Amino acid sequence: MKCVKFPMLLTSVPIWAFAAAYTHAETTENNLADSGQTTIEEIAVVGSRRDGRSVLDAPVPVDVIGDSEMKSQGSSDMLDVLTNVVPSYNVSREPISDAGTLVRPANLRGMPADNTLVLVNGKRRHRGAVIGEFVAGVNKGAQGVDISPLPGIAMKQVEVLRDGAAAQYGSDAIAGVLNFVLADDPEARQIQVRSGQYFEGDGAISEISGLFGTHLGQDGFATLAFEIKDTEATSRGIQDPGAQALVDAGNTSVPDPVVIWGTPEITNDYKIFLNSAMEVGNGSEVYAFGNFATRDTDGSFFYRHPHGRTGVFKNPDDGNLLVADLTPDGSGDCPTISLTGVDNVLNDPVYQDQVANNPNCFAFNELYPGGFTPRFGGTVTDSSFAAGIRGEWSNGMTYDFSASAGRSELDYTIYNSVNASYGPNSPSSFDLGSQIQFERMANADFSYPVAISGLASDLNVAFGFQYHKEQFEIIAGQTESFAPGGFEDQGFSIGSNGFQGFSDDVAGTFNRDSYAGYLDLEADITDSFLVSGAMRFEEFDDFGSTFDGKLAARLDLTDWMSLRAAASTGFKAPTVGQSSLRRASTSFEDGQLIEALVVPPTNAVAQFKGGEQLQPEESTSLSIGTVISAGFVDLTIDYFKINVDDRIALTEAGITEDDRAELLAMGNAEAQTISQIQFFVNDFDTETQGVDIVASAPFESSAGFTDFTLAYNWTDTKVVNRGQTVSEARAEELEDFLPEHRATFTVNHSIGMWNAMVRTNYYGETLELLFNDPTLPVKTGSIVLVDAEVSAQLNDTFQVGIGAKNLFDTYPDKHEYGDQPGFLGAVYPLNSPAGLNGGFYYVSLDAQF
CA dihedral (72, 78, 81, 83) in degrees, to 10, reads 180
User: Measuring CA to CA, how many Å separate 74 from each of 84, 209, 391, 710, 797?
Assistant: 10, 14, 40, 19, 21
CA dihedral (267, 829, 651, 594) positive or negative: positive
pLDDT at 95: 66
Which residues have CB under 8 Å from 357's CB, separation 6+?
A: none
What spatial distance separates the first Cα and last Cα of the chain, rounded to whole Å?
34
**Residue 210 dihedral angles phi and psi, to the nearest 5°:** -155, 155
Contact 598, 674 (CB under 8 A): no
- Helix H, strand E, coil C: the string for 560-616 is CEEEEEEEEEEEECCCHHHHHCCEEEEEEECCEEEEEEECCCCCHHHHHCCCCCCCC
Tell me phi and psi for residue 424, to 5 degrees. -70, -10
The one-letter code for the residue type at 688 is: T
- Non-local CB neighbours of 340 within 8 Å, separated by 6+ positions: 319
Amino acid symbol at 786: V
Amino acid at 212: F
pLDDT of amino acid 82: 87
Vertex 585 angle, CA 595 and 503, to 5° = 105
H or E element in which residue 733 lies: helix 728-736
Angstrom CA distances, 403 to 223, 393, 465, stand at 20, 20, 12
Distance CA 532, CA 23 (A): 14
Query: How distant is the alpha carbon of residue 816 from its chain centre?
Result: 29
Mean pLDDT by 10 residues, the chain (849 residues): 32 32 34 40 57 67 83 75 84 68 84 95 94 82 92 92 92 94 95 96 95 94 97 92 92 93 93 96 93 94 90 90 94 93 92 95 96 93 97 93 97 95 96 97 95 93 96 96 92 89 92 96 93 96 95 94 96 95 66 69 86 95 93 91 94 80 74 78 95 92 92 95 86 92 94 94 91 85 95 95 95 84 82 88 95
What is the C-alpha radius of gyration for the chain, rounded to an integer number of angstroms?
29
Residue type present at position 58:
A
583 strand-pairing partners: 598
Rounded distance between C-alpha atoms, residue 147 and residue 89, angstroms:
13
Q: Mention every residue, 6+ apart, whose C-beta is less than 8 A from residue 752.
A: 36, 704
Got the DSSP string for 79-125?
HHHHHHH-TTEEE---SSSGGGGTS--EEETT--GGGEEEEETTEEP
CB atoms within 10 A of CB 325: 17
* 202 contacts: CB under 8 Å, gap ≥ 6: 232, 233, 234, 235, 262
- State residue 592's pLDDT score: 52
How many CA atoms lie less than 13 Å away from 636 in the CB half-sphere? 28
Exposure of 217 by Cβ count < 10 A (0-12 exposed, 13-18 middle, 19+ buried)? exposed
Sign of CA dihedral 307, 310, 315, 316: positive
pLDDT for 338 equals 94
Strand pairing class (508-526; 529-540)? antiparallel
CA contacts within 13 A on the Cβ side of 282: 7
| CA neighbor of 477 nearest in space, from 421, 416, 510, 435 | 435
Within a 10 A sphere around the Cβ of 479, how many other Cβ atoms? 14
Task: Provide φ and ψ at 427, rounded to 5°.
Answer: -65, 165
Q: State the Cα–Cα distance between residues 668 and 660, nearest whole angstrom.
A: 9
Count CA within 13 A, CB hemisphere, residue 509: 5
Specify the pLDDT at position 31: 36
Q: Decide: 271 and 291 in contact? Cβ < 8 Å.
A: yes
What span, in angstroms and rounded, lies between the C-alpha atoms of 192 and 207?
8
Taking residue 10's Cβ as centre, other Cβ atoms within 10 Å add up to 17
Strand (E) positions, 477-579?
A: 508-526, 529-540, 544-556, 561-572
Distance between CA atoms of residues 571 and 165, nearest Å = 9
Query: Residue 677: how many CB atoms within 10 A of its CB?
Result: 23
Distance between CA atoms of 591 and 315, rounded to whole angstroms? 9
Backbone angles phi, psi at 332, to 5 degrees: -70, -20
The partner residues of 325 in beta bridges, in order of sequence, read: 361
Burial of 395 (0-12, 13-18, 19+ CB in 10 A): exposed
Alpha carbons 145 and 169: distance in angstroms, whole number: 15
Q: What angle do CA 574, 570, 719 make, to 5 degrees?
A: 75
Say how far apart CA 147 and CA 537 lie, in whole Å: 28
3-class secondary structure, 196: strand
Q: 808, 841 in Cβ contact below 8 A?
A: no
What span, in angstroms and rounded, lies between the C-alpha atoms of 815 and 38?
48
Helix (H) or strand (E) holding 68: helix 67-71
The predicted pLDDT at position 734 comes to 92
**How many CB atoms are located within 10 Å of the residue 302 CB?**
17
The number of residues in the chain equals: 849
- Max Cα distance, the chain (Å): 100
Of 466, 465, 462, residue with least CA distance to 446:
462
Q: Do 194 and 174 touch, CB atoms closer than 8 A?
A: no
Q: Long-range contacts made by residues 390-396, C-beta under 8 angstroms, separation at least 24?
A: 390/11, 390/12, 390/284, 390/285, 390/287, 391/11, 391/282, 391/283, 391/284, 391/285, 392/283, 393/283, 395/448, 396/448, 396/449
- What distance in Å separates the CA atoms of residue 43 and residue 10, rounded to the nearest whole number? 9
Evaluate the omega torsion of the peptide bond into residue 306 and state whether it is cis, within 30 degrees of 0. no
What is the DSSP code (8-state) at residue 547?
A: E
